[in-house]
Amino acid sequence: MALLAALAGGAGGEVGQQAWAALSSLVRHPFRRRGSNAPAVAASSGEAELARLAASPDEVARAHALSTALAIRAALDADFQADLRRWSELTDSLDTGSFHNEISGGTFAAPVVQGRDFSHISFQTPPSPQAEPETDTPTASG
């Protein structure tokens, strides 16, 4: 469920967007129930749940509803189950996790960057000023 919500919210950059587009395409494929003698079961294709989650990706209940719809459809449609499994395997390596940065206390004399997944970053800043030795400190005299 966390992956669905993260992808709906745009996590994962370009790869995440591609994964969301692939899931959207998969959900829009025609619903084919197992066997011709399968009982008619009222089940969602997942399209409505997908649209609702896309509209409000922060709502966990919507991610849960989509997850449930996908699981039910996979149980009823063998082709969908196989395609969903392939999609899931492709997204296993997609890191959409959250991160936490915190700075507290101290004095900073250089740029501070907070975020995640930085690469090829450099700063051209002058060296920080050296602290002058304290002159108010009493000295022992003999």
Task: Tabulate helix, strand, coil % of the chain (nearest 5).
Answer: 45, 0, 55
- What pLDDT score does 135 carry? 57
- The CA distance from 36 to 48, in Å, is 25
In order along the chain (142 residues), what is the average pLDDT of each group of 10 residues?
80 80 91 62 86 91 93 92 91 63 71 65 67 57 52
**pTM for the structure as a whole:** 0.60
